[in-house]
Structure 1
Amino acid sequence: MAEETPAENGNGAAAPAQPQQVRMQVLAQYVRDLSFENVVVQKGLSAGEVQPDIQVAVSLDARKRPAANQFEVITKFKVTSKNKANGDTLFLLELEYGGTFLIEGVADEQLHPFLLIECPRMLFPFVRRIISDVTRDGGFPALNVDQVDFLSLYRQELARRAQAQAPEKVN
């Protein structure tokens, strides 16, 4: 049996170890929860002349699954449309969209941001499509949600947590 030797570069010296390649595979995607309330129809109101004011709230959750290197990431979108003229709610859409990911080669200290930035980026086009289809099928113009900057969201959450943990100053 041949003896294993370290890889050599062109001049006979051992080559430095190559960093492990990052591997991310989407194993599954799914709607975990979906709710659409067409308030205009429920209250018997006339859509008539409305100027919609649309608010989109995004939150994220990630957890380790029992299988090795598998994680579940849930994106939560809450879309509220109100009439600018009187503040009446036109519709409310809530969507929890999840993905199961196999992730290898990511250092432990980088795993948390990877799960809450890169994984939601992979899921977002599907979320956008669902929101568009549901609003259109609900009797409103299709809503195409703007691109979400998950890196900025992650940084904002870190800042919020740091501020919450900072000791309060007494004057």
Structure 2
Amino acid sequence: MTDTPEAGAQNAAPQMKMQILAQYVRDLSFENILAQKGASGDTTPEVSVNVGLDVKKRQAEHQYEVIMKTKVNAKTKEGGQPLFHVELEYAGVFHIEGVPEDQMHPFLLIECPRQLFPFARRVISDVTRDGSFPPLNLENIDFVALYRQQLAQMQAQAAQKADA
């Protein structure tokens, strides 16, 4: 029997496969505080952005729902008066195969959000523009750093519970 490249490929580890089955806005809230108060003057915003991630295993085999929860608060630089508030939950349903079990958690919380982020960015840009503000284009997010930060928080919480 001869070793062919095809036989070698079949004996190798299974190929990683990711497919986005759906992506959608789960929840969206935009509050235009500036317009509600009838405020005027300097509206140069100081923007704070918080991002959280959630993963849910779906009933179908190899399917996961990844939810990116983004909160944006904008205040005036002078005086700190609130301008607007955006909350967006943007989700994707992913079919994932071939990822080793010990790498699945970081894969779901790093690679999947990378796929969703450009679309969530566009939604936030559109809603702020439609709310009479300049479009807010979020800067890229380092999902590896965000993952590490979440791991550190979980470990700190586990340590607190163990000490209690």
Structure 1 residues without counterparts, runs of 5 or longer: 1-6
Q: Is the 8 A contact 1:79 1:94 kept in 2?
A: yes
Instruction: State how far apart, in whole Å, the 1-side matches of 2:131 and 2:105 are.
Output: 36
**1:27 aligned to 2:29?**
no
Decide which structure has greater helix share: 2
In structure 2, the partner of 1:69 is 62
**1:37 aligned to 2:1?**
no
Q: Is the 8 A contact 1:8 1:15 kept in 2?
A: no
**1:138 aligned to 2:131?**
yes
Query: Counterparts in 2 of 1:1-171, with a 5 A limit?
Result: 8-9=2-3, 17-46=11-40, 48-166=41-159
Q: Report SS of the residue matched to 2:134.
A: coil
Q: Deviations over 1:39-71 (max 9, x none)?
A: 01111111x223311000000000100001000
Q: After the TM superposition, list the runs of 4 or more consecutive aligned residues in structure 1 that deviate by more than 2 angstroms.
A: 7-10, 14-17, 163-168
Amino acid at match of 1:88: Q
Please say which structure displays the higher CA radius of gyration. Answer: 1
TM-score under structure 1 normalisation?
0.87
Instruction: State how far apart, in whole Å, the 2-side matches of 1:134 and 1:86 are.
Output: 24
Q: Report SS of the residue matched to 1:142.
A: coil
- Cα RMSD for the two superposed structures: 1.9
Deviation at 1:165, TM superposition (A): 2.2
Instruction: State how far apart, in whole Å, the 1-side matches of 2:88 and 2:49 are.
Output: 11
TM-score under structure 2 normalisation?
0.91
Q: Is the 8 A contact 2:28 2:88 kept in 1?
A: yes
Structure 2 residues without counterparts, runs of 5 or longer: none
